[in-house]
Amino acid sequence: MTGTTRARRAGVVRRRVQISLAVVLVVFLAFGARLLQIQGFDTSAYAAMASDAGTRSTVVPAERGQILDRNGVPLATSYDGITLTADPTLTAENAPRIAGILREVLGTEVDYFDLIDQLRKPDSRFVYVVKDIPAWQADQVMDGLKEAELTGVFVQHESLRSYPNGSVAANLIGRLNNDGQGVGGLEQRYDDLLSGTDGSATYSVSPTGEKIPLADSQVTDMVPGSDVTTTIDSDLQWYADDTLSQAVQAAGADWGLAVTLDVQTCEVLQMSQVPTFDADAKTGLTDAKTVSRGLQTVYEPGSVMKAITMAALADQGKISPTTPISVPSSMSIDGFTIGDAWNHGQLNLTAAGVIAKSSNLGTIIASQQMDDETMYEYLSRFGFGTKTGVGLPGESVGILTDPAGWSKANHATISFGQGVSVTAMQMVRAVGAIANGGQICEPTVVSGSRSPEGVTTPTPHDAPKQIISQEAARSVTTMMEAVTTDDGSAPAAQIPGYRVAGKTGTAWRVDPDTGRYVSGSHTVSFMGFAPADAPRFLTYVVIDNPTAAASGGGTAAPVFRDIMSMALQRFGILPTGAPAPQTPLSW
């Protein structure tokens, strides 16, 4: 190839490069000019377009705080979910086609005709299409709509609630309704703290529902909710739930509950009830299952109240464990014949024997040493007729009538737990005062909260209040230890190696419709604490309307024994090794 030829070809290449560069430069200049026109000169035109199409606002949901057990185990937590929404002004014309794609992907989760109604909803620019669906389904829906060139359906991320343990402590935790608001329990009580503050994103959309990239937009960051730490031990809670469930089923009862309290700190360690519901699966959401039995259900406690009567008398110096009481075979008061649960003649029992044998008559005779006003005043000291201070929604105050209206029969029956109505938490608080050396305190289910910034705030508590003397509390504890001996009414409550104090209860049930006692229908219970000589935990078990043969000592006491044994083991509470007192039951 000659030099002339090579020069000619090089010139051709240079011209082609120059032409290409010129073309590229023209293209960039065109894009630049268009961009300048859009941003600098035609802003009002695009604003008008945005105005014609409107703006779209979406909620940036705040992550709801967790509810944790005392060891940091989640009892309620949140996760990201996907919700599909629609703008009916964009979907009305193609509603049947859009509904068809949704139905094809989501199947029976949606109703075709309801979808059409939603997608054509008049005078609305926002409707929910379907909530809480997996990401892969949302992707399939949006891909199908895009392929069909259908617009107006949008993806919105939601903060959804999960209860990892299902029904465990469900009535204490509560649940969320469809609007994400707390219903019952801790979810309702601490809703403001848990919910945080939602954020938002507002942007302009075209007539086809597409976001206009260069239009104004506004974003407000969300603020997550705080975590709430409970006093509940989830392992003990699960065990108590299971143990109680088996007992209620075996007894053929309407319902049952069990509550365990740390008497030194007044922290509730477990709060079980049967039947219950599963907030995660959203099953069992009936009034009978979602009610908080320990706080809202009012019943007559029966013989567990005898411990309170004896505590009042002991505080006045009127009785001790060895005080002799002559117990007749029956008594007639205001025309009513009152007897004990078993037939007997004249009995010579000590005060400890009255409690150990659970004698109604012996308790009546002892209670006659104080007048109506004094008995009422002590019942009020122990917290009956008022809320416990646990701070959960829906708590009842029970029924404690004014002593001005008491008859002799009222005084008699109230002394052994009939004619007065309570909640389980009231009974736990009252007997907890005996176990705690005469000091009453407010039970708590929440130890504190932790903000998104990591700031921990403990739950404030009122200081315990001395309501009876330490001597009186020790005296009644000695009486209650006699209950769990072989000669007492609840030997089934014994825990090998530990001293156990307790009291059985068997009460007639009241028909809520008639206000009359139902013949042959009872509420049985057992209240106990251990170690009796250095009390740490108290457990109360109530089983309502058992159809099988049942009693406080035979039906509720074994449930107490199992739950208390688990609590002592789990928290490493060793026996004190001190011998139990040999208290005479008769004289």
91-106 per-position pLDDT tens digit: 999 999 999 999 999 9
Answer yes or no: do 225 and 293 share one domain. no
C-alpha to C-alpha distance for 64 and 223, rounded to whole angstroms: 9
Q: Which helix (H) or strand (E) holds 517?
A: strand 517-530
Answer yes or no: do 361 and 389 share one domain. yes
Average pLDDT over residues 233-250: 98
pLDDT at residue 282, as a whole number: 84
Answer yes or no: do 226 and 238 share one domain. no
Q: Return mean pLDDT, the chain.
A: 90
Is 10 within the bounds of a domain? no
Average pLDDT over residues 156-162: 83
Percent of the chain with pLDDT over 90: 75
Domain of 133 in residue numbering reads as 63-197+221-230
pLDDT at residue 567 above 90? Answer: yes
Is 35 within the bounds of a domain? no
Beta strands in 295-361 (DSSP E): 324-327, 331-333, 336-338, 347-350
Beta strands in 106-236 (DSSP E): 127-133, 153-162, 175-176, 182-183, 199-204, 217-220, 227-230
C-alpha to C-alpha distance for 388 and 423, rounded to whole angstroms: 9
- What domain count does the chain have? 2
pLDDT at residue 49, as a whole number: 47
Answer yes or no: do 256 and 163 share one domain. no
Is 526 within the bounds of a domain? yes
pLDDT at residue 341, as a whole number: 92
Percent of the chain with pLDDT over 70: 88
Beta strands in 310-422 (DSSP E): 324-327, 331-333, 336-338, 347-350
Answer yes or no: do 191 and 248 share one domain. no
For the four alpha carbons of 399, 544, 358 and 467, in that order, the dihedral sign comes to: negative
Answer yes or no: do 371 and 431 share one domain. yes
Average pLDDT over residues 177-197: 93
Answer yes or no: do 258 and 225 share one domain. no
Is 415 within the bounds of a domain? yes
Question: Could you report the per-residue pLDDT of 408-443, keeping only the tens digit for each?
Answer: 999 999 999 999 999 999 999 999 999 999 999 999
Is 430 within the bounds of a domain? yes
Question: Could you report the per-residue pLDDT of 371-399, keeping only the tens digit for each?
Answer: 999 999 999 999 999 999 999 999 999 99
pLDDT at residue 17, as a whole number: 60
Is 380 within the bounds of a domain? yes
Answer yes or no: do 310 and 358 share one domain. yes
Answer yes or no: do 180 and 273 share one domain. no
Question: Could you report the per-residue pLDDT of 52-85, keeping only the tens digit for each?
Answer: 456 666 677 788 999 999 999 999 999 877 889 9
We report the CATH number of the domain holding residue 533 as 3.40.710.10
Q: Which two tokens stand for residue 41?
A: 């000169």
Buried b (16+ CB within 10 A) or exposed e, 9-29: eeeeeeeeeeeeeeeeeeeee
Answer yes or no: do 187 and 245 share one domain. no
Is 257 within the bounds of a domain? yes
C-alpha to C-alpha distance for 232 and 573, rounded to whole angstroms: 17
Question: Could you report the per-residue pLDDT of 482-540, keeping only the tens digit for each?
Answer: 999 999 999 999 999 999 999 999 999 988 788 889 888 999 999 999 999 999 999 99
For the chain, the 3-state helix, strand and coil shares in percent, each to the nearest 5, are: 40, 25, 35
pLDDT at residue 24, as a whole number: 62
We report the CATH number of the domain holding residue 139 as 3.90.1310.10
